[in-house]
Amino acid sequence: MSLPGPIDPPARLLMGPGPISAHPRVLQAMSAQLVGQYDPFMTDAMGEVQDLYRGVFATANAHTLLIDSTARGAIEAALVSLLEPGDRVLVPVMGRFGHLLVEIAGRCGAEVHTVDAPWGEVVPLEAIAAAMERARPKVLAMVHGDTSTTMRQPFEGLRELCDRFDCLLYADVTATLGGNPFPTDAWGVDAATAGLQKCLNGPSGSAPATFSPRAVEVIESRRSIEAGIREPGDPAVAHPIRSNYFDLAMIFDYWSPRRLNHHTEATTMLYGARECARLVLEEGLDAYQVRHDLHGRAMLAGVEGLGLTVYGDRAHRMANIVAVEIPEGVDGEAVRGSLLRDFGIEIGTSFGPLAGRVWRIGTMGWNARTDAVLATLAALEAVLRRQGVALPAGGGVEAAYDVYGAAA
Protein backbone atom coordinates (compact mmCIF):
# COMPACT_ATOMS: atom_id res chain seq x y z
CA MET A 1 0.00 0.00 0.00
CA SER A 2 1.37 3.41 -0.93
CA LEU A 3 1.43 5.97 1.84
CA PRO A 4 -0.99 8.88 1.27
CA GLY A 5 0.56 12.33 1.36
CA PRO A 6 -0.05 14.99 4.02
CA ILE A 7 -3.61 16.27 4.23
CA ASP A 8 -4.06 19.17 1.83
CA PRO A 9 -7.72 20.06 1.28
CA PRO A 10 -8.68 22.22 -1.69
CA ALA A 11 -9.68 25.83 -1.15
CA ARG A 12 -13.43 25.95 -0.53
CA LEU A 13 -15.98 28.59 0.41
CA LEU A 14 -18.61 26.64 2.34
CA MET A 15 -21.89 28.49 1.75
CA GLY A 16 -24.24 25.63 2.52
CA PRO A 17 -26.27 24.81 5.64
CA GLY A 18 -23.15 23.77 7.57
CA PRO A 19 -20.41 23.02 8.14
CA ILE A 20 -19.07 26.44 7.29
CA SER A 21 -15.50 27.55 6.70
CA ALA A 22 -13.82 27.70 10.11
CA HIS A 23 -12.49 31.05 11.28
CA PRO A 24 -8.67 31.27 10.98
CA ARG A 25 -8.41 32.11 14.69
CA VAL A 26 -10.29 28.93 15.57
CA LEU A 27 -7.93 26.85 13.44
CA GLN A 28 -4.98 28.60 15.05
CA ALA A 29 -6.31 27.87 18.54
CA MET A 30 -6.78 24.22 17.62
CA SER A 31 -3.11 23.94 16.62
CA ALA A 32 -1.98 24.64 20.21
CA GLN A 33 -0.12 21.89 22.08
CA LEU A 34 -1.98 19.47 24.35
CA VAL A 35 -1.78 19.45 28.13
CA GLY A 36 -2.98 16.81 30.60
CA GLN A 37 -6.69 16.70 31.36
CA TYR A 38 -6.13 17.72 35.00
CA ASP A 39 -3.35 20.21 34.31
CA PRO A 40 -4.24 23.53 35.99
CA PHE A 41 -4.10 25.19 32.57
CA MET A 42 -6.68 22.72 31.29
CA THR A 43 -9.09 23.00 34.20
CA ASP A 44 -8.78 26.79 34.06
CA ALA A 45 -9.59 26.66 30.35
CA MET A 46 -12.65 24.50 31.10
CA GLY A 47 -13.85 27.12 33.56
CA GLU A 48 -13.27 29.87 30.98
CA VAL A 49 -15.29 27.92 28.43
CA GLN A 50 -18.18 27.67 30.87
CA ASP A 51 -18.14 31.42 31.49
CA LEU A 52 -17.86 32.20 27.78
CA TYR A 53 -20.79 30.03 26.78
CA ARG A 54 -22.96 31.51 29.51
CA GLY A 55 -22.53 34.70 27.52
CA VAL A 56 -23.32 33.03 24.19
CA PHE A 57 -26.41 31.29 25.58
CA ALA A 58 -27.45 34.43 27.53
CA THR A 59 -27.81 32.41 30.72
CA ALA A 60 -26.67 32.28 34.32
CA ASN A 61 -26.87 28.46 34.37
CA ALA A 62 -24.05 26.95 36.38
CA HIS A 63 -24.28 23.78 34.29
CA THR A 64 -23.08 25.27 31.01
CA LEU A 65 -20.37 23.18 29.36
CA LEU A 66 -19.21 21.23 26.32
CA ILE A 67 -20.24 17.72 25.38
CA ASP A 68 -17.53 15.90 23.46
CA SER A 69 -19.52 14.97 20.39
CA THR A 70 -21.17 16.39 17.35
CA ALA A 71 -24.39 18.35 17.86
CA ARG A 72 -26.42 15.16 17.40
CA GLY A 73 -24.59 13.55 20.30
CA ALA A 74 -25.49 16.48 22.52
CA ILE A 75 -29.18 16.10 21.58
CA GLU A 76 -28.93 12.46 22.58
CA ALA A 77 -27.15 13.31 25.83
CA ALA A 78 -29.89 15.75 26.80
CA LEU A 79 -32.79 13.48 25.95
CA VAL A 80 -31.34 10.25 27.34
CA SER A 81 -30.49 12.02 30.59
CA LEU A 82 -33.87 13.76 30.97
CA LEU A 83 -36.16 10.94 29.81
CA GLU A 84 -36.75 7.61 31.48
CA PRO A 85 -38.50 4.73 29.72
CA GLY A 86 -42.22 5.44 29.66
CA ASP A 87 -41.89 9.20 30.10
CA ARG A 88 -44.03 11.24 27.72
CA VAL A 89 -42.37 13.73 25.40
CA LEU A 90 -43.99 16.08 22.89
CA VAL A 91 -42.06 16.98 19.73
CA PRO A 92 -43.38 19.66 17.36
CA VAL A 93 -42.13 18.58 13.92
CA MET A 94 -41.56 21.09 11.10
CA GLY A 95 -38.73 19.36 9.20
CA ARG A 96 -36.08 16.66 9.20
CA PHE A 97 -34.59 17.56 12.58
CA GLY A 98 -37.91 17.38 14.41
CA HIS A 99 -38.09 13.83 13.12
CA LEU A 100 -34.59 13.32 14.57
CA LEU A 101 -35.82 14.34 18.04
CA VAL A 102 -38.67 11.83 17.66
CA GLU A 103 -36.17 9.13 16.69
CA ILE A 104 -33.83 9.79 19.61
CA ALA A 105 -36.62 10.13 22.19
CA GLY A 106 -38.12 6.86 20.99
CA ARG A 107 -34.78 5.10 21.40
CA CYS A 108 -34.69 6.44 24.97
CA GLY A 109 -37.85 4.43 25.58
CA ALA A 110 -40.06 7.49 25.85
CA GLU A 111 -43.70 7.63 24.82
CA VAL A 112 -43.41 10.10 21.96
CA HIS A 113 -46.21 12.42 20.87
CA THR A 114 -45.93 14.79 17.92
CA VAL A 115 -47.65 17.83 16.50
CA ASP A 116 -46.75 18.55 12.89
CA ALA A 117 -46.55 21.50 10.53
CA PRO A 118 -46.06 21.25 6.76
CA TRP A 119 -42.43 21.65 5.73
CA GLY A 120 -41.78 25.33 5.11
CA GLU A 121 -43.98 26.43 8.01
CA VAL A 122 -43.71 26.50 11.83
CA VAL A 123 -45.98 24.91 14.42
CA PRO A 124 -48.48 27.43 15.80
CA LEU A 125 -48.45 28.01 19.54
CA GLU A 126 -52.12 27.08 19.83
CA ALA A 127 -51.43 23.70 18.16
CA ILE A 128 -48.61 23.05 20.63
CA ALA A 129 -50.90 24.00 23.53
CA ALA A 130 -53.61 21.62 22.33
CA ALA A 131 -51.10 18.80 21.93
CA MET A 132 -49.73 19.43 25.43
CA GLU A 133 -53.23 19.26 26.84
CA ARG A 134 -53.62 15.82 25.26
CA ALA A 135 -50.15 14.42 25.96
CA ARG A 136 -49.25 15.98 29.35
CA PRO A 137 -45.54 15.50 28.58
CA LYS A 138 -42.58 15.54 30.92
CA VAL A 139 -40.49 17.25 28.19
CA LEU A 140 -41.40 19.54 25.32
CA ALA A 141 -38.56 19.01 22.82
CA MET A 142 -38.20 21.67 20.12
CA VAL A 143 -35.96 22.44 17.18
CA HIS A 144 -35.35 26.20 17.19
CA GLY A 145 -34.07 26.41 13.62
CA ASP A 146 -34.49 23.49 11.21
CA THR A 147 -31.93 23.76 8.43
CA SER A 148 -33.81 21.24 6.27
CA THR A 149 -36.53 23.86 5.70
CA THR A 150 -34.70 27.00 6.96
CA MET A 151 -37.60 27.73 9.33
CA ARG A 152 -37.14 29.22 12.83
CA GLN A 153 -39.74 28.16 15.39
CA PRO A 154 -41.00 30.95 17.69
CA PHE A 155 -40.37 30.25 21.39
CA GLU A 156 -42.45 33.06 22.86
CA GLY A 157 -45.16 31.61 25.08
CA LEU A 158 -43.61 28.16 25.46
CA ARG A 159 -42.37 28.72 29.02
CA GLU A 160 -45.88 29.66 30.14
CA LEU A 161 -47.20 26.48 28.50
CA CYS A 162 -44.55 24.36 30.18
CA ASP A 163 -45.30 25.91 33.57
CA ARG A 164 -48.99 25.15 33.10
CA PHE A 165 -48.25 21.48 32.46
CA ASP A 166 -45.21 21.12 34.78
CA CYS A 167 -43.01 20.32 31.79
CA LEU A 168 -39.34 20.79 30.91
CA LEU A 169 -38.45 22.75 27.75
CA TYR A 170 -35.59 21.43 25.61
CA ALA A 171 -34.26 23.25 22.53
CA ASP A 172 -31.99 22.07 19.73
CA VAL A 173 -30.19 25.29 18.76
CA THR A 174 -27.52 23.67 16.59
CA ALA A 175 -28.29 25.84 13.57
CA THR A 176 -29.21 29.09 15.30
CA LEU A 177 -27.03 29.73 18.36
CA GLY A 178 -25.05 32.94 17.96
CA GLY A 179 -26.57 34.03 14.67
CA ASN A 180 -30.19 34.30 15.81
CA PRO A 181 -31.60 35.63 19.09
CA PHE A 182 -31.85 32.87 21.67
CA PRO A 183 -32.07 34.32 25.20
CA THR A 184 -32.05 31.07 27.16
CA ASP A 185 -33.04 32.47 30.54
CA ALA A 186 -35.49 35.07 29.25
CA TRP A 187 -37.33 32.37 27.30
CA GLY A 188 -37.25 29.95 30.24
CA VAL A 189 -35.48 27.17 28.35
CA ASP A 190 -34.42 24.27 30.59
CA ALA A 191 -31.93 22.57 28.29
CA ALA A 192 -30.33 23.69 25.05
CA THR A 193 -27.65 22.06 22.94
CA ALA A 194 -25.73 23.30 19.91
CA GLY A 195 -22.72 22.69 17.70
CA LEU A 196 -19.82 24.81 16.46
CA GLN A 197 -20.20 24.23 12.72
CA LYS A 198 -23.01 26.67 11.93
CA CYS A 199 -23.02 30.23 13.31
CA LEU A 200 -20.14 29.74 15.75
CA ASN A 201 -17.20 29.72 13.29
CA GLY A 202 -15.88 26.26 14.09
CA PRO A 203 -15.76 22.60 13.07
CA SER A 204 -18.15 19.89 14.09
CA GLY A 205 -17.07 17.78 17.06
CA SER A 206 -17.79 19.80 20.20
CA ALA A 207 -21.27 20.67 21.43
CA PRO A 208 -21.98 23.61 23.76
CA ALA A 209 -24.90 22.92 26.09
CA THR A 210 -26.65 24.55 29.03
CA PHE A 211 -29.04 23.21 31.67
CA SER A 212 -31.33 25.05 34.07
CA PRO A 213 -31.63 24.13 37.76
CA ARG A 214 -34.93 22.40 36.91
CA ALA A 215 -33.24 20.19 34.33
CA VAL A 216 -30.26 19.54 36.60
CA GLU A 217 -32.56 18.36 39.38
CA VAL A 218 -34.10 15.76 37.06
CA ILE A 219 -30.70 14.61 35.80
CA GLU A 220 -29.14 14.47 39.27
CA SER A 221 -32.04 12.33 40.51
CA ARG A 222 -30.81 9.64 38.10
CA ARG A 223 -27.15 9.85 39.18
CA SER A 224 -25.30 6.54 39.31
CA ILE A 225 -21.51 6.52 39.54
CA GLU A 226 -19.86 3.69 37.66
CA ALA A 227 -17.76 1.06 39.41
CA GLY A 228 -14.06 1.81 39.39
CA ILE A 229 -14.43 5.48 40.27
CA ARG A 230 -17.26 5.19 42.81
CA GLU A 231 -16.39 6.41 46.28
CA PRO A 232 -18.17 5.77 49.60
CA GLY A 233 -21.47 7.64 49.56
CA ASP A 234 -21.69 7.79 45.75
CA PRO A 235 -25.00 6.47 44.39
CA ALA A 236 -25.37 3.33 42.28
CA VAL A 237 -28.95 2.83 41.16
CA ALA A 238 -30.63 -0.13 39.51
CA HIS A 239 -31.88 1.87 36.51
CA PRO A 240 -29.28 4.52 35.64
CA ILE A 241 -29.26 6.83 32.64
CA ARG A 242 -29.24 4.46 29.68
CA SER A 243 -26.04 5.73 28.10
CA ASN A 244 -22.69 5.75 29.86
CA TYR A 245 -20.93 8.12 27.47
CA PHE A 246 -23.85 10.56 27.35
CA ASP A 247 -24.67 10.32 31.08
CA LEU A 248 -24.95 14.01 31.91
CA ALA A 249 -24.90 13.39 35.67
CA MET A 250 -21.36 12.02 35.35
CA ILE A 251 -20.40 14.66 32.76
CA PHE A 252 -21.54 17.32 35.24
CA ASP A 253 -19.17 15.79 37.80
CA TYR A 254 -16.32 15.89 35.30
CA TRP A 255 -16.88 19.62 34.75
CA SER A 256 -17.36 20.32 38.47
CA PRO A 257 -14.61 21.13 40.98
CA ARG A 258 -14.64 17.43 41.88
CA ARG A 259 -13.33 16.58 38.36
CA LEU A 260 -14.57 13.00 38.68
CA ASN A 261 -13.14 11.14 35.72
CA HIS A 262 -15.66 10.27 33.04
CA HIS A 263 -13.72 10.56 29.77
CA THR A 264 -10.63 12.38 28.53
CA GLU A 265 -11.66 15.85 27.42
CA ALA A 266 -11.12 16.52 23.72
CA THR A 267 -8.45 19.13 24.35
CA THR A 268 -8.07 20.44 20.80
CA MET A 269 -11.84 20.76 20.40
CA LEU A 270 -12.05 22.62 23.70
CA TYR A 271 -9.42 25.08 22.46
CA GLY A 272 -11.46 25.59 19.30
CA ALA A 273 -14.77 25.95 21.14
CA ARG A 274 -13.20 28.47 23.49
CA GLU A 275 -12.07 30.62 20.55
CA CYS A 276 -15.48 30.30 18.88
CA ALA A 277 -17.14 31.82 21.94
CA ARG A 278 -14.44 34.49 22.27
CA LEU A 279 -15.10 35.60 18.70
CA VAL A 280 -18.83 35.98 19.34
CA LEU A 281 -18.45 37.89 22.59
CA GLU A 282 -15.55 40.01 21.34
CA GLU A 283 -17.82 41.29 18.55
CA GLY A 284 -20.74 41.50 20.99
CA LEU A 285 -23.65 39.07 20.91
CA ASP A 286 -26.14 41.66 19.65
CA ALA A 287 -23.76 42.93 16.95
CA TYR A 288 -22.96 39.36 15.95
CA GLN A 289 -26.65 38.65 15.41
CA VAL A 290 -27.15 41.92 13.53
CA ARG A 291 -24.32 40.91 11.17
CA HIS A 292 -25.94 37.55 10.49
CA ASP A 293 -29.26 39.24 9.84
CA LEU A 294 -27.66 41.73 7.41
CA HIS A 295 -25.85 39.16 5.30
CA GLY A 296 -28.82 36.81 5.38
CA ARG A 297 -31.05 39.60 4.04
CA ALA A 298 -28.48 40.43 1.38
CA MET A 299 -28.37 36.81 0.21
CA LEU A 300 -32.16 36.59 0.17
CA ALA A 301 -32.43 39.81 -1.84
CA GLY A 302 -29.71 38.57 -4.16
CA VAL A 303 -31.36 35.28 -5.08
CA GLU A 304 -34.62 37.12 -5.65
CA GLY A 305 -32.71 39.67 -7.75
CA LEU A 306 -31.76 36.75 -9.99
CA GLY A 307 -35.45 35.97 -10.42
CA LEU A 308 -35.31 32.88 -8.20
CA THR A 309 -38.04 31.95 -5.71
CA VAL A 310 -37.38 31.71 -1.97
CA TYR A 311 -38.91 28.64 -0.33
CA GLY A 312 -41.00 28.67 2.82
CA ASP A 313 -42.64 31.14 5.18
CA ARG A 314 -40.46 34.24 4.97
CA ALA A 315 -41.79 35.58 8.27
CA HIS A 316 -40.22 32.65 10.11
CA ARG A 317 -37.00 32.01 8.23
CA MET A 318 -33.68 31.73 10.00
CA ALA A 319 -31.35 34.72 9.63
CA ASN A 320 -28.42 32.62 8.47
CA ILE A 321 -29.77 30.42 5.68
CA VAL A 322 -32.10 30.75 2.71
CA ALA A 323 -33.78 27.97 0.73
CA VAL A 324 -34.09 28.62 -3.00
CA GLU A 325 -36.46 26.70 -5.25
CA ILE A 326 -34.59 25.04 -8.10
CA PRO A 327 -35.95 26.41 -11.40
CA GLU A 328 -37.94 23.98 -13.52
CA GLY A 329 -35.77 22.10 -15.96
CA VAL A 330 -32.55 22.83 -14.08
CA ASP A 331 -30.40 19.96 -12.81
CA GLY A 332 -29.83 21.08 -9.21
CA GLU A 333 -26.95 18.68 -8.58
CA ALA A 334 -25.21 19.75 -11.77
CA VAL A 335 -25.39 23.38 -10.60
CA ARG A 336 -23.93 22.43 -7.21
CA GLY A 337 -21.20 20.44 -8.93
CA SER A 338 -20.26 23.35 -11.21
CA LEU A 339 -20.17 25.80 -8.31
CA LEU A 340 -17.82 23.49 -6.42
CA ARG A 341 -15.63 22.50 -9.35
CA ASP A 342 -15.36 25.88 -11.11
CA PHE A 343 -15.64 28.36 -8.24
CA GLY A 344 -14.74 26.36 -5.13
CA ILE A 345 -18.13 27.26 -3.59
CA GLU A 346 -20.35 24.73 -1.86
CA ILE A 347 -24.10 25.18 -1.43
CA GLY A 348 -26.48 22.54 -0.07
CA THR A 349 -29.42 20.50 -1.24
CA SER A 350 -32.08 19.24 1.19
CA PHE A 351 -33.73 16.07 2.48
CA GLY A 352 -36.96 14.10 2.23
CA PRO A 353 -39.76 15.91 0.39
CA LEU A 354 -37.40 18.79 -0.47
CA ALA A 355 -34.62 16.65 -1.96
CA GLY A 356 -33.93 17.94 -5.45
CA ARG A 357 -36.44 20.78 -5.00
CA VAL A 358 -34.38 23.43 -3.20
CA TRP A 359 -30.84 24.65 -2.69
CA ARG A 360 -29.86 25.83 0.77
CA ILE A 361 -27.43 28.74 0.91
CA GLY A 362 -25.92 29.72 4.26
CA THR A 363 -24.42 33.00 5.46
CA MET A 364 -23.12 32.19 8.89
CA GLY A 365 -20.13 32.44 11.16
CA TRP A 366 -16.92 33.36 9.36
CA ASN A 367 -18.81 33.33 6.04
CA ALA A 368 -21.36 35.98 7.05
CA ARG A 369 -19.32 38.49 5.02
CA THR A 370 -19.99 40.79 2.09
CA ASP A 371 -17.35 39.23 -0.15
CA ALA A 372 -18.68 35.71 0.47
CA VAL A 373 -22.25 36.75 -0.33
CA LEU A 374 -21.32 38.63 -3.52
CA ALA A 375 -19.00 35.90 -4.77
CA THR A 376 -21.67 33.25 -4.25
CA LEU A 377 -24.34 35.26 -6.07
CA ALA A 378 -22.03 36.04 -9.00
CA ALA A 379 -20.98 32.41 -9.31
CA LEU A 380 -24.57 31.16 -9.09
CA GLU A 381 -25.59 33.53 -11.88
CA ALA A 382 -22.74 32.34 -14.10
CA VAL A 383 -23.54 28.66 -13.59
CA LEU A 384 -27.27 29.11 -14.15
CA ARG A 385 -26.60 31.03 -17.37
CA ARG A 386 -24.58 28.08 -18.65
CA GLN A 387 -27.59 25.88 -17.82
CA GLY A 388 -29.67 28.07 -20.13
CA VAL A 389 -31.57 29.98 -17.47
CA ALA A 390 -32.49 33.54 -18.44
CA LEU A 391 -31.48 35.86 -15.59
CA PRO A 392 -31.24 39.62 -15.06
CA ALA A 393 -27.59 40.44 -15.72
CA GLY A 394 -25.91 41.21 -12.40
CA GLY A 395 -29.30 41.18 -10.69
CA GLY A 396 -28.17 39.18 -7.69
CA VAL A 397 -25.10 41.21 -6.85
CA GLU A 398 -26.92 44.51 -7.40
CA ALA A 399 -29.82 43.49 -5.13
CA ALA A 400 -27.36 42.50 -2.41
CA TYR A 401 -25.50 45.79 -2.83
CA ASP A 402 -28.81 47.58 -2.32
CA VAL A 403 -29.25 45.86 1.05
CA TYR A 404 -25.73 46.77 2.10
CA GLY A 405 -26.17 50.33 0.95
CA ALA A 406 -29.39 50.75 2.92
CA ALA A 407 -27.66 49.45 6.05
CA ALA A 408 -24.61 51.69 5.73
Q: What is the pLDDT of residues 299-335, one digit of tens each?
A: 999 999 999 999 999 999 999 999 999 999 999 999 9
**pLDDT tens digits for range 344-370:** 999 999 888 999 999 999 999 999 999
Over residues 91-108, the mean pLDDT reads 97
Query: What pLDDT, on a 0 to 100 scale, did the predictor assign at position 229?
Result: 82
Q: Where are the domains of the chain?
A: 23-280, 285-407
**23-280 and 285-407 in the same fold:** no
Rounded Cα distance between 224 and 5, Å, is: 46
Q: Which of 3.30.1370.10, 3.40.640.10, 3.40.50.2300, 3.40.50.300 would CATH assign to domain 23-280?
A: 3.40.640.10
Provide the whole-model pTM: 0.96
285-407 topology per CATH: Aspartate Aminotransferase, domain 1 (3.90.1150)
30-52 in b/e form (b: 16+ CB < 10 A) is beeeeeebeeeebbebbeebbeb
Percent of the chain topping pLDDT 90: 93
Rounded Cα distance between 206 and 392, Å, is: 43
Longest dimension (CA), the chain: 75
Query: Is the predicted pLDDT of residue 258 greater than 90, yes or no?
Result: no
